[in-house]
Structures are given as structure tokens and as C-alpha cells.
Homo-oligomer: A and B are copies of this chain.
Amino acid sequence: MITHTVAFRLRHSRDSDQEAAFLHEALALAGIPGVRDFQQMRQVGKKAAYDFGFSMRFADQSAYDAYNGHPVHVAFVRDRWVAEVADFIELDYVSIEGRDPA
């Protein structure tokens, strides 16, 4: 199991309609085959300049690769992410010694 996470900051104002529209559009990612436990979260830690986080899980690298190449993901990155995200960091996790990230 692979847990894929991304923390990011939008170019939009906080609580703007544009912010809400971006988050709504991103829900389409949850419907891509192989995506499990899709979550949208608010990043509240003061030590990092990111306001949101998405996380999802894949059974294996093959499922992750299929997600990356899926037309819905490709279109979202091209049409929304590139223009609307000011900065981001991707972190992907796997278990250590059988301790599976939940």
C-alpha cells in the first residue's frame, strides 16, 4: 500500500469562491480507478506555508502509475493545478516492517 500526499497553497484568497471551486473540481480525482481513501484536509501547522492537503492510497505502484496517467488526473493538473497552485510538496509513504499507514 502506498499513501500519496500533497500539501499545497493556492493563489486564491482564503475562503474565496475560486478556492472552493478548486477543491470541488479536485474531488474528481477520487473517482479515478485505484484511488482509495481520498481526503481533502486543511493544513494548520504554523511551521509550513501550505494551506491544504490531499491524500489517497494505492494498492501498489501499478495503481499509482495508472492514476498519474489517467485522463482525469492529467486534465486536472493541466487545467487547474498548474495555474492555481502557488507551491506544493509531495510526500509518499509506505509502511516500515509491516506497519501499514492507515
Measured CB to CB, the residues of A under 8 A from B are 2-4, 7, 23, 37, 39-45, 47-48, 50, 52-53, 55, 89-96, 99, 101-102
Query: What are 22 A-B residue pairs whose CB atoms fall within 8 Å in the complex?
Result: A3-B41, A23-B96, A39-B99, A39-B102, A40-B96, A41-B95, A41-B96, A41-B99, A42-B93, A42-B94, A42-B95, A42-B96, A43-B91, A43-B92, A44-B92, A44-B94, A45-B92, A48-B89, A48-B91, A89-B89, A91-B91, A102-B102
Q: Closest CB of chain B to A44's CB: distance in Å?
A: 5
Q: Are A91 and B45 in contact (CB under 8 A)?
A: yes
What residues of B have a CB within 8 angstroms of the CB of A47 in the complex? 89-90
Q: Are A90 and B48 in contact (CB under 8 A)?
A: yes
**Which of A50, A90, A91, A94 is most buried by chain B, counting CB atoms within 10 A of its CB?**
A91
**Docked pose: A101 CA to B43 CA in angstroms:** 11
What residues of B have a CB within 8 angstroms of the CB of A102 in the complex? 37, 39, 102
